[in-house]
Structure 1
Amino acid sequence: MLTELLTGWIGHQRWFAGKGRPVDGLTIDSDVELAPGLRHLIVSVHQAGTRDRYQILLGCCEYDMPDKLRHATIGEGLYDATHDADLTGILLQAMADGRDIGPLRFRHLEDVHIDTGQRSLVLGAEQSNTSLVYGDAYICKLFRRLIPGVNPELEIVSALARRKAAHIAQPYGWIETDLDGETTTLAMTQEFLSNSNDGWALALASVRDLYASLDASASDAGGDFSAESFRLGTATAEVHQELASAFPTGVMEPQEITHLVEDQRRRLTQAVAEVPELARHAPVIEEAYQRVCDVAHKVPVQRVHGDYHLGQVMRTPTDWVILDFEGEPGQPLAERRALASPLRDVAGMLRSFDYAARHLLADHPDAEQLLPRAVEWAELNRSSFLAGYSAGGGRLHGEDAVLLRALELAKAVYEVVYEARNRPSWLPIPLSAFDPGAPANL
């Protein structure tokens, strides 16, 4: 029975959000034949009183399973068709044609051409989604866990593309359906940046070079990254300005600022209860939060990236490109689409520089000796990013510095809980946000 096969299979997939909890039941909400041998399923997974929906591309093989697809087997004659390049071209063709197949709608942006002759390959690095790379031209992201509503990434990138904004990957098409009466994004296709490197990898190369050059400073080592940090800051500010032009903006009044601070205080209390090592830093964090209430009177808010770090940016041969405008995937869609201070993104990138500088020190035998170099690298690149952000028109003055400090510490509190749960050896990295000179190992 198909539901039994899917129940046994889905819990082992990287993108399944309910790992570690038993599946109480699975039902098939939608089953659409896209072409002979290819079905599109939407399934509901029930766990401990909760329900999550996922999409599956189901391949059906009448004969022996080809060796190249055995790793994707679901059951006899059935497999995950995202791995079958002979079938996934149908998605690209349907987007190019603007077809409707049952309840599924395949669409493309106006004035774009989609080369339907490209063959796909599954990108192996992702956790929550599945991306198909078509040749060196396109990347199609399938949103495995479905939340009713338009995905923020499709909404933002399409709006910026219509404005011909820089620093984004060109969108081409998307797939949608209706869930709970709402138009819901199933997948989107963008330009694939084949000749590019992600910011995290480039930053780590710089840090490794610094650690290997025992007598060089962060600005003198062969891997100096500060010029790129400046350019990235400028690109970030320019994207924030485009977002403010493309979407509604607002102002957070004093009462709303107070509510925001109170919410962060509650999260701090919960974090201290879960991670006792955080308790000695609580006064520093509380003081930063209180300063926001004392100083900030009105805070401009707008659409932002929402999950901004070095892994979300790509350096092409000519520029920085910003990706993944989804926001934090685990948060409700309304929260991911809510207006926020653009300094939230700035704070996220500042934390990412600290991570790049320090994560190689986790369990490193020479961590204490290298710590001053990590601090130097982080300070240089943080300041360069902020200088670039200001040069690009980003707002950074007066009370903004107070809010930025509070947002950065709030992000670090979140990171403390995450690392304690998932990577305990990395816990000193976010803890260092409250005491930059702290040892690299607990």
Structure 2
Amino acid sequence: MHELRTPHGRIRLETDGVLTPLGSAGEPAAAGSGLAADLVAAVLSGAPDGLECSPGELRIVRTPLPAAVAATDESAVAVDMTNLSVVVGGDKIVKLVRSWGGANRSARLLTRLAEAGVEAVPGYFGSLDWHHPTRGQGTLALVSAVVPDAADGWSWAVDDVVSWFQGGEAPRWPAELGRLTAEVHTVLLEAGAAAPPAAAQVRKRASDVLDQALSVTDGDPGLRLTRRASALKDILDAIPETAAPAFDLHGDLHVGQILRAGGNYWLLDFDGDPQLSAAERDLPDTAARDVAHLAASFDMVASVAAKRIQASEPQALRRLYGWSRDATGEMVASYREAAREAGVPDLLDEAMLPGLIAEQLLRELIYAHRFLPRWGYAADGAITHRFPPDQTSQHKEPAWTPPALPRT
């Protein structure tokens, strides 16, 4: 059997590449089993003492971040849907990877950012890697610092937009997120640039996403999407050639990946787009891909805010989705200025953004269909209010309204 063993548990490598964390009695590992604390202690020490694997060998990749005190108390993190994340000692969080190779790029990019001293990413201590004789290297666990009292953007961003809608100040964070993204991108670019993907390749990928979204979206959302298929196709077909450099991106950049605490922001989770294969996630791409993904999430924030306040009148919805367009403009302008200050004024090709935003919103529909059906309303609302319907249809389209709030 291929597995890693620790004093309080083990990680079993299945034949299909699935990594299964187990407690000492063979039960599924969870906070409190001790496995997470064993892995954190190994990474902090810089050596896999007390751990064994068969076959192959274990190695620790340690960053310059000063060592923290190892602890044994563990608490659960409920928001990680893909991996098992556990807080250890109250101030460190370990991500136990559930698929071979699933966090290799994340470990590589986090190490690069830590070595560059980027403050927009939570402190990163390092990783535990298994060097397997037939599978090669696979990151098993990543250890980072906990950001105290932090919330992710699906909470704080929506709160701010709801407050603005009800008479408060307009959120200032779109510009801050643009600068943060540019800061991370310029460091990742320093590791090396590649030629950008050909426009024909980018358009083909986007066209395939439109076809897939049309095939899986039914009911009223499907009717609304079908009426916008022509406009979407025109936008996707217009994605231009670009001379902007390609490099390692975040790959899954949206407000939910951004923590806020005390007025500061931190970017999380460099695993890449979960809808792509590990090989596809690791391909370099241009900055416009990340920026478009972030912009699309502003539209999704508008949808969630509409649900929160139960906005259904056309004027209210126009105001909410108008905010997301303005927020995107502020974010892009801030990114542009930060890139210019960093000496890379041509890092972002803004002409690519309309098509890539459209593709990302379509991907959100597909993601909801595959993994989280209750999330589909957000992408449906964003697409409905961003793209014009076909005016030649003789049938009145069903209006988009947010789903009702759950009863308390």
TM-score relative to the length of structure 2:
0.82
Report the counterpart of residue 113 of structure 2 in structure 1: 160
Please list the CA deviations of residues 326-377 of structure 1 after superposition, one character each: whole Å capped at 9, or x if unmatched. Answer: 1023422221111101111111111111111122434975412531331232
| 2:149 is equivalent to residue 177 of structure 1 | no
- 1:252 aligned to 2:204? no
- Name the counterpart of 1:371: 317
Give the equivalent residue in structure 1 for 2:406. none
Structure 1: runs of 5 or more not aligned: 1-28, 46-50, 61-77
Task: Return closer, same or farther for 1:336/1:209 CA change in 2, 3 Å cut-off.
Answer: same
Residue in structure 2 matching 1:435, options 380, 387, 406: 387
Closer/same/farther in 2, CA of residues 30 and 58 from structure 1, 3 Å limit: farther
1:171 deviation in Å?
Answer: 1.2
SS of 1:176's equivalent in the other structure is strand
1:407 counterpart residue number = 356
Is 1:109 aligned with 2:62? yes
The CA deviation at 1:398 is 12
- Higher relative CO (Cα under 8 Å, sequence separation at least 6) belongs to 2
The CA distance in 2 between the partners of 1:362 and 1:41, in whole Å, is: 41
Partner Cα distance (1:362, 1:377) in 2: 15
Instruction: Using the TM superposition, give the Cα deviation of residue 311 of structure 1 relative to its aligned residue in structure 2, in angstroms.
Output: 0.6
Partner of 1:265: 207
* Partner SS, residue 280 of structure 1: helix
Q: Deviations over 1:279-330 (max 9, x none)?
A: 221221222233224xx35342111111000010112436321110110234
Per the alignment, residue 163 of structure 2 pairs with: 209
Question: In structure 2, which of residues 24, 28, 31 is the aligned counterpart of residue 80 of structure 1?
Answer: 28
Larger radius of gyration: 1
Name the CA distance, whole Å, in 2 between partners of 1:414 and 1:248. 28
Counterpart contact for 2:105–2:271, Cα < 8 Å: yes
Amino acid at match of 1:431: I
Paired AA for residue 82 in structure 1: A
Aligned residues of 1:167 and 1:322 also touching (Cα < 8 A): yes
1:109 and 1:172 in contact (8 A); partners too: yes
Cα separation, 1, equivalents of 2:297 and 2:348: 23
- Deviation, structure 1 residue 239: 0.8
State the AA in 2 paired with 1:233.
Answer: G
User: Residue in 1 aligned with 2:23?
Assistant: 58
The Cα RMSD (Å) is 2.8
Q: 1:178/1:150 Cα in 2 relative to 1: closer, same or farther (>3 Å)?
A: farther
For 1:378 and 1:83, the matched residues in 2 are separated by 38
Q: Secondary structure at the match of 1:139?
A: strand
Give structure 2 stretches of 5+ with no counterpart.
390-396, 403-408
Residue 333 (str. 1) matches residue 274 (str. 2): no
Residues matched between the structures, number? 375
Three-state SS of the structure 2 residue aligned to 1:80 is: coil
Matching residue within 236, 240, 244 for 2:181: 236
| Cα deviation code 1:131-167 (max 9, x no counterpart) | 11123321111112x2247611110010111111231
Cα deviation, 1:59-101, whole Å, max 9, x if unaligned, reads 32xxxxxxxxxxxxxxxxx533432265543222222331253
Equivalences for 1:225-374 in 2 at 5 Å? Answer: 225=171, 227-245=172-190, 247-252=191-196, 256-275=198-217, 276-277=222-223, 278-293=225-240, 296-317=241-262, 319-362=264-307, 366-368=311-313, 370-374=316-320
Structure 1 pair 410–322 and aligned structure 2 pair: CA distance change class (3 A): same
Aligned-partner Cα distance in 2 for 1:57–1:140: 15
The aligned counterpart of 2:77 is: 123
Question: Which secondary structure does the structure 2 equivalent of 1:83 belong to?
Answer: coil
Q: Distance in 2 between matches of 1:345 and 1:206?
A: 23
Distance 1:110 1:347 in 2: 31
Q: 1:132 to 1:172 in 2, by over 3 A?
A: same
CA gap 1:136/1:286 in 2 versus in 1, 3 angstroms? same
Deviates more, 1:411-420 or 1:338-347: 411-420
**Cα displacement (A) at 1:396:** 8.0
Letter in 1 for 2:12: I
- Relative to structure 1, is the Cα distance of residues 362 and 200 closer, same or farther in structure 2, using a 3 angstrom cutoff? closer
Secondary structure in structure 2 of the residue aligned to 1:250: coil
Higher strand share: 1
Q: Contact 1:96 / 1:108 at 8 angstroms: preserved in 2?
A: no
